[in-house]
Chain A
Amino acid sequence: MKSITKQKPFDEVEMLIEKFNRIYLIGCGTCATMTKTGGINEVRDLKKALQSRGKLITGCIVIPTACDEMTAEMVKENEKAVQDAQCIIVMACALGVQRVNSSWPKPVIPALDTLFIGMEESPGQFFEACDQCGQCILGETAGICPLTACHKGLLNGPCGGTNNGKCEVDPEKDCAFTLIYERLKEQDRLDLLRKYHPPKNYHVMPRPKRTVLLLERGS
């Protein structure tokens, strides 16, 4: 699982930090490094850009995995530089931003937009694989998720916009139901495409979603 991000336009970041002159910068060594949006190089570039606009960078760090609980410790270890800053810019996905936000009382500013939870198909190519709907139907759809692979998230087959195996929204995109159809055909399981799927329960777990893991098995 990877959190896929893109950098916000610099103007937007500048607008968000308009009132702050002393800034601490945090990058992430995992997903944002892989997507080249918040790794060492990108943190360095943003630092330079901000300095050229007269901002003082009190310090910067690339946390191995910004979303995990170690982030609070890392922030503490750099307490002086963080304390010195008026705000923290986080070059990580929204999980990293929220982790920092919960471990430090100062304003936290995201420098990235989080696009989706995705997988890498080939180097640098990512696709959205799961909508985390709480009701997995991959067992009936040849392992291809129509909620994410179909623009409309349809369950009962292709819409009229399907076009030679492509999607009406973007001719570069595959029609999910053509993929599902071809795969099921290969598997000799086309009967699955004839099955009626009733409307989804969009509140398998109502928002805000939370869960408590059972860490110990009962006897």
Chain B
Amino acid sequence: MTTRFRQALNSGKFVITSEIGPPKGTNLEKMYQHIDLLKDKVDALNVTDHQSSVMRFPSMGGCLAVLENGGEPVLQMTCRDRNRIALQGDLLLAYSKGIKNVLCLTGDAVPVGDHRAAKGIFDLDSVQLLHLIRRLEGGTDFGGNELLGSVEFCTGATVTPEAIPLEPQLFKFEKKVDAGAEFFQTQAVYDLEKFTGFMQYARQFPVKILAGIVLLSSARMARYMTAHVPGINVPQNLIDELAQAPKGGALQKGIEIAGRMIATLKKESICDGVHIMAINREEAVPDILVAAGLPV
């Protein structure tokens, strides 16, 4: 069995993924609009799993909506809210419903979100979750019991190529590769020189790397991310570029920057593709693709 996304990863083409952030509530209208807008423009659509530990409509529900509309979903699965029993149950459900790509994440810490008093589970971590999936694929659960009907997933993970210090991240990256990760969608990349250095290292492993592109919507947002989001460092020249944009034109400038970066990554074959995160601005993704000179 192979998934459409796995086929795209192995086709040699420059792979494009993006993501859908489900709403807080049951009004799914906007989420469906975003899915409809993006499903045919990208190779797969991730659906976030209570991103930043903020309670929302679940990733599984968003993935089912992507499938319903003929898109190719990537189920983001964190270890924050479920123990190994619940994770396995959800994987069985996902597979049975046709969701066959999974991005394995540890998950953000509970206190950064909007239910600060909740219990963080973290029974497993991202590396152990990858192992768990491979175990299920072998026909037994994590307790060693035989499954009545198993699963098969295209599994991925994340890496932070600009983390300081970097070496412990790379050790973990290699553990993820050993655990069977086929693709990586990286944390936001802005410094292409640094990222190229990371790719020179990462190329020795048989995995596909999609560079994380987070849309910058203003100089203020860029400064905020640099100051507050771990592993993100927007270079000063990009911040200046956003600051110098004409009034009301910062978002357009951000789209241009994202497009330019994607075009460079593709032209210089630096990595295997990009994962575009236009947090809360999913409707800007087609403009980014146009700015990158990609077919829409």
Contacts and interface: CB of A to CB of B under 8 A. Distances in A.
Contacts of B128: 155-156, 197-199
Contacts of A197: 128
Interface string B35-58: 000000000000000000000000
A83 interface: no
Interface stretch (A32-40, A103-111, A146-154): A146-154
B109 to A, nearest CB: 5
A169 interface: yes
B230 A160 contact: yes
Given A169-B112, A181-B168, A152 B163 contact: no
A160 B125 contact: no
A132 interface: no
Contacts of B109: 151-152, 161, 167-169
Nearest to B106: A159
A18 to B, nearest CB: 26
Interface in B55-93: 84
A156 B168 contact: no
A178 B131 contact: no
Given A151-B109, A152-B120, A160-B160, A198 B131 contact: yes
A154 B106 CA distance: 9
Given A152-B122, A177-B168, A199-B84, A168 B112 contact: yes
Given A177-B168, A181-B168, A168 B124 contact: no
Contacts, number: 94
Contacts of B178: 196
Contacts of B187: 160
A194 B175 contact: yes
A160 B84 contact: no
Nearest to A154: B125
A151 B111 CA distance: 10
Interface centre among A161, A169, A178 (most CB of B within 10 A): A161
B95 to A, nearest CB: 21
Q: What is the interface of chain A mostly: helix, strand, loop, or mixed? A: loop
Nearest to A158: B168
Interface residues of B, number: 34
Nearest to B84: A199
Interface in B219-233: 230-231
Contact of B125 (A155, A161, A180, A194): A155
Given A162-B163, A194-B175, A156 B127 contact: yes
B24 interface: no
A157 B108 contact: no
A180 B167 CA distance: 12
Contacts of A153: 122
Given A160-B163, A168-B230, A196 B171 contact: no
B165 interface: yes
Interface string A154-191: 11111111111101110000000110110000000010
Interface residues of A, number: 30
Given A168-B230, A169-B112, A196-B179, A157 B169 contact: yes
B108 A168 contact: yes
Contact of B230 (A163, A177, A199): A163
Nearest to A181: B168
A38 to B, nearest CB: 26
A157 B142 CA distance: 21
A81 interface: no
Interface in B142-161: 142, 158, 160
A108 to B, nearest CB: 27
A130 interface: no
B123 A157 contact: no
Given A159-B106, A160-B187, A196 B125 contact: no
A153 B125 CA distance: 9
Contacts of A151: 109, 111, 120
A181 to B, nearest CB: 4
B123 A199 contact: yes
A162 B170 CA distance: 13
Given A162-B231, A169-B109, A193-B168, 16 more contacts: A151-B111, A154-B106, A154-B122, A155-B128, A156-B126, A160-B158, A160-B187, A160-B231, A162-B168, A162-B169, A164-B164, A165-B164, A178-B168, A180-B168, A193-B171, A194-B174
Interface of A: 151-165, 167-169, 177-178, 180-181, 190, 193-194, 196-199, 202
